[in-house]
Structure 1
């Protein structure tokens, strides 16, 4: 059965499931309840410390496991219907708990906007060996999973995608097409001459960094591209949301791509779009951090959490900037090498304009991050100054007592108490009262003279007529 008929059947299945939504009503309620509990525990964890935080973390992991197990037992169509019915935030949580081997089938059943939103979340990665070939069929890309060399004889792909290929897999793919497939673990060259070049036989070699933004942290993943006999070969060490998004669009939209070079340009365009979404997330994080920083008082613990959040935002912003700058270099190489048609050149110029707009956002975010860093450092310094001030006040308040003790010492006080024939306990009671009296006089005296200090008048800004 071809891809088009499969897609049609999938849509019919989803329509039938929508018509019988009552069949998954209980399942939807169960998923919604589990997601709600996960969100509550996740929110509470941020506000707790120590054993209480560990307890909430354990409860959150337990409910995530329950959600994962429950979704694994549901049919693909039912999962798609549930995801479509959930609110956006709840949908993102449920999506992370779905097994990777079911993702593509579920994406085919979802509305296009919902599918792209879930792919853009980028929380599913894979490091397992995978070779997928894509050929044009009725204007769409048809995906063929290749697990042995003989399958290449029956297809004419425009794109061969390799994820974490072993040396054996790289060898038989390269041998079939007459080229050398690089090891994805060795894609670390920094010089432009080593990253972008054209072989004597016309092969185009490019190595770019794509952004991967996860909850656990962001990083850049190196990807090697080879254009050989109008076929695009892509090699990387793990799955990326950009590639999954490209596969979805090319499968669902006829005429979306027509050649391997079109696929390459669309991958770069999707990377820019993914980077823009990452920057939107940074804006949201910094807005929350800014609300905390601008409060009247910040504790040292809160300041440390703020600094951690700002540092994470700076890391994402820096990696995003690196990714889009790398994309710009790659597109400039294609333009200089005259490797594109007029239509493709127009697409490249549009992508470059999008990159230029992102440059302004990354620069603004860097400035905002520096401001929040400085503001948080100032709050920490203010807290430290308050502690020093308290210690200074204590030393000044008890300075007279220290002077008397230094002049005579406690032995002379004991002798003086004996001369007056006072009981020793009564003498120490009077001594303690005297210390408190002198300390109180010093404290309130300092407060009085501090309030009497003349205040600097505020500058008055005159309004021009």
Structure 2
């Protein structure tokens, strides 16, 4: 429908232009310019309502002269997005050797040079021609950047933000072209803002592709190790396993921090006096550590499944298989530690709630004692108020003072009695 609309506008434009060119009228050039401008405004209005994909399809479907005319009506801000939808030949015909802008994300390729990783920043298509990387890492890539890498290497790179909706069973699979897709969550532990960041891995031949939305400490650590330690990695599968191993190490460090925080909370909980405000703050701290501990356990389960998938696919050599088994053993030990921390968290939670109940019971105890203490004087006052015919306090000068003293004695006497018996503390 959109293609038909554009073709109709172009045909109308050519028809009117041809008719005006054969007319001998005053100011013919001015009239022709006005008519052309009107047609271009209509064409621009149609293009503004279309997506970059639809505009690219239209440009691919019409003649080159018409494509040039349509291209001139595409807004400058949208031209880069449209260029990614065109073939190399049409792109060159329209804009020459201009490379479409890739966006603000970071694209890096890593080659093995003398046993060390060597980083190459990717800014355009030409940067990919002279390298043979084992790892291509995309950080917060735009659609254009993913298209650039995908077109060059012949694969489809997913948007990492779309991975959060995948079912757990759909995170590990093999494509028809023997591409191995693995979607995993990596821990980003920041004070008060810890969360899981989805990362998409694609193994194709001797190359590893990773796509993620945020920088992660695990990736920084592995890049540093591979650059400074010769022989740290030998191929793309080594790189992937080392990333999973570093994730286990990072999670272990996070669990140590959780334990340290819970130790501080224990000292507060086991102190003699805790106010309700302090208890509320303690509960908030416990809830934060419980959330982090649960996230670590979930990520470790995800990592365990990913490493097991690699083992089942028989992709690893003997050394890599030993490394994978060691990662699984580390994860098992971390799972045991998270279970221990869950027990400790439950104990501290119950203890804190118990102290809150004790504080509430103290308040209720005050009201209970007050209500019991007022029963005898209430009884005396009731008795004095029953006898309307003979009320000695009206004729006796000390009647009311005597009643008040009697009430006071009735309040104090039970307290003294219970205190001596040890029943009141």
Task: Normalising by structure 1, report the TM-score.
Answer: 0.65
Structure 2, unaligned runs of 5 or more? 1-102
- Closer/same/farther in 2, CA of residues 128 and 172 from structure 1, 3 Å limit: closer
1:285 has 2:261 as partner:
yes
User: CA separation in 1, counterparts of 2:406 and 2:214?
Assistant: 76
Aligned with residue 263 of structure 1, among 234, 239, 246: 239
1:461 aligns with none
Return the offset for 1:193.
Answer: 4.1
Residue 442 (structure 1) aligns with: 414
Distance in 2 (CA, whole Å) between partners of 1:175 and 1:238 is 23
Change over 3 Å in CA distance of 1:445–1:176 after alignment to 2 = same
Aligned equivalent of 1:78: none
Q: What does 1:297-316 align with in structure 2 at a 5 Å threshold?
A: 297-316=273-292
Q: Distance in 1 between matches of 2:381 and 2:179?
A: 90
2:217 paired with 1:245: no
> Hey, what's the Cα distance between the residues in 2 that align with 1:341 and 1:270?
20
1:317-336 alignment runs, 5 A limit: 317-336=293-312
Question: What is the CA–CA distance in structure 2 between the aligned matches of 1:240 and 1:411, rounded to whole Å?
Answer: 87
Verify the 8 A CA contact 1:128 1:163 in the aligned structure 2.
no
- Following superposition, the deviation at residue 184 of structure 1 comes to 1.1
> Residue 419 of structure 1: CA displacement?
2.7
User: 1:141 Cα shift?
Assistant: 0.8
Separation in 1, partners of 2:367, 2:349: 27
1:432 offset after TM fit, Å? Answer: 5.1
Alpha-carbon distance between aligned partners in 1 of 2:105 and 2:386, rounded to the nearest angstrom: 82
Matched, 1:384 2:356: no
Deviation at 1:297, TM superposition (A): 2.5
In structure 1, what is the Cα distance between the partners aligned to 2:387 and 2:145? 90
Tell me the CA shift for residue 181 of structure 1.
0.8
Tell me if structure 1 keeps the 8 A contact 2:178–2:204. Answer: yes
Decide whether the 8 Å contact of 2:192 with 2:288 is kept in 1. no
Pair 398,151 (structure 1): closer, same or farther in 2 beyond 3 Å = same
1:353 to 2:329 alignment:
yes
RMSD between superposed Cα atoms in Å: 2.4
Equivalent residue pairs, number = 321
Instruction: Note the alpha carbon deviations across 1:78-99, whole angstroms, 9 max, x for none.
Output: xxxxxxxxxxxxxxxxxxxxxx
The alignment partner of 1:217 has SS state of: coil
SS of the aligned residue for 1:380 comes to helix
Shift of 1:448: 2.5
**SS of the residue aligned with 2:346?**
helix
1:434 Cα deviation from its structure 2 partner: 4.4
Change (3 A) 1:450 1:169: same
* Cα offset, 1:233, TM superposition: 0.7
Higher Rg of the two aligned structures = 2
The aligned residue for residue 377 of structure 2 is: 401
CA contact (8 A) 1:223 1:234 kept: yes
| Mapped partners of 1:137, 1:409: distance in 2 | 105
Instruction: Give the whole-Å Cα distance in 1 for the aligned partners of 2:204 and 2:406.
Output: 95
Measure how far apart 1:282 and its partner are.
0.8
- Structure 1 unaligned segments of length 5 or more: list them: 1-126, 454-465
